[in-house]
Amino acid sequence: MKMFKEIMSWVIPIIVGLLIALLIRRFVFTMVRVDGPSMEANLENNERVAVVKTVAIKHLSVIVFNAYRVDPDATSKNVKYVKRVIGMPGDTVSSRDGQLYVNGKQVNQRFISQFERTQGTGDWNLQGLSNKNEWSIQTTKVPKHSYFVLGDHRSVSNDSRYWGFVPAKKVLGVVKVPFWDTSATKRHNVNAIGY
């Protein structure tokens, strides 16, 4: 009996600790690795970032979502994309001369360079994109419970311009860059931008 009590005195704290860690990961935050250059220069390939599940999504929030059945090329059920929210439900979104417009107002894009803004962005609106790329939803506005997302490095980003909207149910959370992982400017461009 004494041996059992001794074993349980260290087994129970381990089990409780594991349960707490699993609950935090499931409901509060988890860590993910950025894969690819689409969010450069703010997030680098192989950079580890936190995904916070309790933060509200706003315009210009950087999110992680499960891309399976969002992007037709994402054939694995575990493919996750990191992108920036440009359009919220009900928004109109367009691009002219490298400038983004949401509901007719120009979006301040100081978080990326002029090159990243203009290369590969083109002139478009949601209706034109939905017709050109034959989205399942033909629309002029971001649908309810959905987001229109772009990568920060537009010329290399595979994003909503090609495959459409991200359903809210696919979003895993909002990206936050840990204080030890990158420069203050990059942290600000990911953690603090949003309206």
Q: Which of 83, 146, 157, 160 is catalytic?
A: 83
76 is catalytic: no
Indicate the DSSP class of residue 88.
-
52, β-bridge pairs: 29, 174
176 is catalytic: no
What the block records as the tokens of 159 is: 């994003």
Letter string b/e over residues 7-42, b meaning 16 or more CB atoms within 10 A of that residue's CB = eeeeeeeeeeeeeeeeeeeeeebeebebebbbbbbb
Q: Which of 2, 5, 9, 38 is catalytic?
A: 38
Residues in the chain: 195
Q: Report the catalytic residues.
A: 38, 83
